[in-house]
Structure 1
Amino acid sequence: MDRSIRLAAFLLVLVLMGTEMGPTIVAGENLRTCDSPSGKFKGPCIISSNCALTCQKEGFAGGHCRDFLRKCYCAKPC
């Protein structure tokens, strides 16, 4: 039983690490986005939609969770 819990935790970490946002494509064009750590998001970033709402209140276009420590990064076109 202990081994299955470790495996499930490892798989959960892999899934969370793989949820980073890729480049934005609009009308066939590849637009660069610049990321900045959120100044107002508190705690670990688990759900990217919560991060995006906080970033929008900060004046950014959106946001997403990333990195191993699950921080909220706000995004805007460069």
Structure 2
Amino acid sequence: MKLSNRVLSALLLISFILIAATTEMGLADKICKTRSDRFSGVCFSSNNCAIICQLFEQFEGGQCEFEGAFRRCLCTKAC
């Protein structure tokens, strides 16, 4: 019975280490957002915003979000 408790403890410890390592790796995948310089007007379509950000501003993508009272195009990239 003691052997099975040791095995269970070891498995729990290994699981904890894997979860901690996965969480740390996820922290490196933060997304930075910057207001688009090229997109003008109120942003209604995240698809249009993403196209402008990718083609003209060399970002990975873009999305419409509220900035103050208006929806603005925010370009996105991994930090």
CA distance in 2, matches of 1:59, 1:40: 11
Q: What is the distance in 2 between the residues matched to 1:35 and 1:60?
A: 10
CA apart distance, 1:35: 0.3
TM-score, normalization: structure 1? Answer: 0.61
1:70 is paired with a residue whose SS is: strand
Aligned to 1:33: 31
Q: Where do 5+ consecutive residues of structure 1 fail to align?
A: 1-27
Aligned pairs for 1:10-25 (under 5 A) are none
Pairs aligned (count): 52
**Alignment RMSD:** 1.7
Q: Residue in 2 aligned with 1:43? A: 41
Question: Larger % of helix: which?
Answer: 2
Cα deviation for residue 36 of structure 1 reads: 0.2
Question: How many angstroms apart in 2 are the aligned matches of 1:69 and 1:37?
Answer: 12
